[in-house]
């Protein structure tokens, strides 16, 4: 039976929505398909005996976000609040990575607080800005929210456990006490490092989910030159060896 071109097009769009979830264009919400996410640097770990700078970002977080469809800007921890505000208004989300810093005293947490406060203010004003915290980042978000350290020490290490998801309500802030980025991008051979199909699936699901949240932000750099200068492509990751907790790091002063 003959169908008008418009009817055929509508049918194809419906099929695309069903099979691929490509329904964003059907909604009134305009998405940003060139998202840039900031990743917070932190002080060097004591176990890193050959650092190439005073702060670092594990490359696995950069790959995690790139795999979800975003580009990355490093957020350094030695800068001014004025520059942090400019960066906040230029990026579309923030990742607080795992690591090993003092939640109450570190420069990393001080900068996390600046971005956290900016994100609260922006979201309250209807300016969508998501944050993702992984492991230590989860702990930082809990500390920043409660204004105290809520950690309870346990006698459990390197243990893979079932995942339990709890929804948030007011702000697009998401935190996990596990490492979805490690399944695909970290290769140290130790208990708890899961490279199963299910583990990889959770990695890419988490990345795609958070990047889809970042697409709801319409912050942008004032110029293409400023955007280009800020991107992490200007830096080279350092291979730390197969026994390192992070197989590659980006270093900064």
84 and 137 housed in the same domain: yes
What's the confidence (pLDDT) of residue 7?
38
22 and 91 housed in the same domain: no
62 and 75 housed in the same domain: yes
40 and 150 housed in the same domain: yes
26 and 68 housed in the same domain: no
What's the confidence (pLDDT) of residue 10?
33
10 and 126 housed in the same domain: no
94-108, 158-172, 180-194: which range is least confident on average?
158-172
> What is the DSSP track for 170-234?
SS-EEEESS-TTHHHH----STT---SHHHHHHHHHHHHHHHHHHTT-----SSHHHHHHHSGGG
64 and 24 housed in the same domain: no
CATH number where 223 lies:
3.40.50.880
Residue 35's alpha-carbon distances to 73, 99, 111, 185, 223, in angstroms, are: 11, 25, 21, 21, 15
Residue 86's alpha-carbon distances to 73, 104, 106, 121, 128, in angstroms, are: 13, 25, 22, 15, 16
121 and 26 housed in the same domain: no
19 and 43 housed in the same domain: no
Measured torsion, CA atoms of residues 139, 143, 149, 150, in degrees rounded to the nearest 10: -60
CA dist 131 and 143 (Å) reads: 14
In Å, the largest CA–CA distance within the chain is: 72
6 and 60 housed in the same domain: no
For 12-59, the pLDDT digits (tens) are: 333 333 333 444 444 447 999 999 999 999 999 888 878 889 999 999
102 and 197 housed in the same domain: yes
Could you give the residue numbers annotated as active site?
A: 135, 179
What's the confidence (pLDDT) of residue 69?
97
54 and 4 housed in the same domain: no
For residues 108 and 40, the answer to whether their CB atoms sit within 8 Å is: yes
Please give the residue range of the domain that contains residue 6: 1-30
Tally of structural domains, the chain: 2
For 135-181, the pLDDT digits (tens) are: 899 899 999 998 888 877 777 776 666 766 666 679 999 998 888 88
């Amino acid at each position: 039976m003959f169908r008008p071109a418009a009817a055929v097009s509508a049918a194809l769009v419906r099929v695309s929505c069903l099979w691929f979830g490509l329904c964003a264009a059907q909604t009134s919400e305009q998405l940003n398909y060139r998202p840039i996410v900031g990743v917070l640097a932190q002080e060097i770990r004591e176990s890193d005996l050959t650092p190439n700078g005073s702060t670092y970002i594990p490359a696995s977080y950069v790959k995690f976000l790139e795999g979800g469809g975003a580009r990355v800007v490093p957020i350094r921890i030695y800068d001014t609040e004025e520059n942090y505000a400019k960066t906040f208004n230029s990026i579309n989300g923030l990742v607080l990575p795992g690591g090993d810093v003092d939640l109450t005293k570190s420069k990393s947490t001080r900068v996390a607080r600046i971005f956290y406060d900016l994100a609260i203010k922006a979201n309250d004003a209807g300016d969508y800005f998501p944050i993702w915290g992984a492991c230590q980042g989860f702990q930082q978000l809990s500390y920043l929210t409660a204004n105290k350290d809520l950690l309870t020490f346990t006698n459990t290490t390197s243990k893979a456990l079932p995942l339990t998801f709890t929804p948030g309500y007011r702000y697009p802030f998401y935190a996990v006490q596990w490492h979805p980025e490690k399944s695909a991008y970290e290769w140290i051979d130790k208990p708890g490092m899961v490279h199963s199909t299910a583990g990889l699936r959770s990695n890419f699901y988490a990345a795609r989910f958070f990047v889809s949240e970042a697409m709801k932000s319409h912050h942008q750099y004032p110029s293409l030159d400023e955007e280009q200068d800020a991107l992490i492509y200007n830096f080279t990751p350092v291979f730390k060896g197969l026994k390192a907790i992070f197989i590659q790091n980006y270093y900064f002063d």
